[in-house]
């Protein structure tokens, strides 16, 4: 023969976890090991400081990368400008030589007397 508990005394897992006794037990656990507020704040500050240091490091790396890319682009543009200048001068020199070859010599241009 099994004995059934009365309706008010049923074991309910919700009541065990959220009842008044559970709250008192949790409160006793918390007061048994007090929070060290200074330690918690110091830990939080250290965590924030590490985050700031990482951000600074990332920002520095990004700025360095951008500066290197800018320098590399400027060097490339300078090389390209120099090559264009050299090619233009060579083209002009070739044109001058071609014109000189086609033109008669200055002595031949004199009118005959």
Q: Tell me the C-alpha distance between 17 and 34, whole Å.
A: 22
Indicate the Cα dihedral angle 87, 91, 96, 97, nearest 10°: 100
* Interval 70-97: pLDDT, tens: 999 999 999 999 999 999 999 999 888 8
Q: Tell me the C-alpha distance between 43 and 20, whole Å.
A: 33
Q: CA-based Rg of the chain, rounded to a whole angstrom?
A: 45
Instruction: Answer whether 0.85 is exceeded by the pTM.
Output: no
* Interval 30-81: pLDDT, tens: 665 656 777 778 889 999 999 999 999 999 999 999 999 999 999 999 999 9
DSSP secondary structure of 17-65: HHSHHHHHHHHHHHHHS---HHHHHHHHHHHHHHHHHHHHHHHHHHHHH
Per-domain boundaries in the chain: 36-102
């Amino acid at each position: 023969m099994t004995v059934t508990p009365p309706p008010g005394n049923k074991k309910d897992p919700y009541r065990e976890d959220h009842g008044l006794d559970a709250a008192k037990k949790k409160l006793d656990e918390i007061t048994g090991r007090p929070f060290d507020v200074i330690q918690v704040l110091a830990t939080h500050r250290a965590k924030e400081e590490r985050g700031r240091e990482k951000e600074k490091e990332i920002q520095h790396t990004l700025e360095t990368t951008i500066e290197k890319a800018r320098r590399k682009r400027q060097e490339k543009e300078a090389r390209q400008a120099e090559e264009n200048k050299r090619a233009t001068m060579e083209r002009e020199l070739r044109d001058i030589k071609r014109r000189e070859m086609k033109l008669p010599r200055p002595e031949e241009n004199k009118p005959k007397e």
